[in-house]
Amino acid sequence: MNTYIDIGINLTNKQFHDDIDDVVQNALDADVAQMILTGTSVKNSEASARMAREYPGVLYATAGIHPHDAKSFDAQSIAKLRDLLKQKQVVSVGECGLDFDRDFSPRNVQETCYKAQLELAIEVQKPLFLHERAAFTRFLSITKEYLPQLPKAVVHCFTGSLQEAKTYLDNGLLLGFTGAISDTRRFEHLKEVLQYVPLESMMIETDAPFMLPKNVPNSLLKKYHERRCEPAYLPYVAGTVAQFKGISLDKVAEQTTKNARAFFAI
Ligand SMILES: [Zn+2]
């Protein structure tokens, strides 16, 4: 039997309000043994930490401020995140980074908020869950300033170019892949990226309820919840990795799980 770890789900999203227990159980039934809830703001990180505490050993959480929420960053934010990071189910700092695609927060505010969280990760020595969209150059240059002291870091939901992937790996970062990799029309280039990235340097995630993998069979969608992505679909992300790399699903499950356990110390 394979075991999978979903390193990024948004279980506090309102799409899951009515059936959290079922969603977790469906995931466990699909061999997804552990899941990490992504914290995207102080409030959301607090909610994620609370939810994770209800399922010890199964759910974990990150604590951080997404670049979209950087405008909510204030003088109390870091102290509140630091407090959350003292809880043992809160295993990672983030998600944090830069998003110049949608610019929901001003870029200079995003940068201030990101740097403060890099400093927090150095202080608490918990791994970083990073977000970068359309901001590669600036993101890399800020991250590199802190790199010598940084704990381990993963750039989650990677959809960038092969050159960007190479640069991240060369700087010691890991990459997280979602169901986006099965969208071969929109993200055709990711096949080449996945063939390049060593299995030892990647982890997998569903980013549920977003990023529904294209290869989930309709019968399964009907059984659970149509059009909503769930952590139970993580094996389909692994399936695409296996297909692109020409290796067995077992190998992908085994190594990505090993990576996630070591990375998050779970
Ligand atoms: Zn993200």
Check residue 139 and give its pLDDT. 98
Rounded distance from Cα 96 to ligand 1 centre (Å): 8
Binding residue per annotation — 156?
yes
Poorest-confidence range of 86-100, 135-149, 188-202, 219-233? 219-233
Query: What percentage of the chain exceeds 70 in pLDDT?
Result: 100
Distance 211 CA to ligand 1 centre (A): 11
User: Mean of the pLDDT values across residues 54-74?
Assistant: 97
207 is in an annotated binding site: yes
Q: What domains lie within the chain, and their CATH numbers?
A: 4-264 (3.20.20.140)
Q: Which amino acid is at 192?
A: E
Rounded CA-CA distance 12/204 in Å is 20
What mean pLDDT is reported for the chain? 97
| Res. 261 pLDDT band, cuts 50 70 90 | very high
Once rounded to an integer, what is the mean pLDDT over residues 110-126?
A: 98
According to the model, what pLDDT value does residue 222 have? Answer: 78
Q: Is there a binding annotation on residue 54?
A: no
- Band (72; pLDDT cuts 50, 70, 90): very high
pLDDT one-digit tens code per residue, 151-164: 999 999 999 999 99
Position 110 scores a pLDDT of: 98
- What is the predicted pLDDT for the residue at 141? 98
Find residue 132's DSSP bridge partners: 98
Would the annotation count 95 as a binding residue? yes
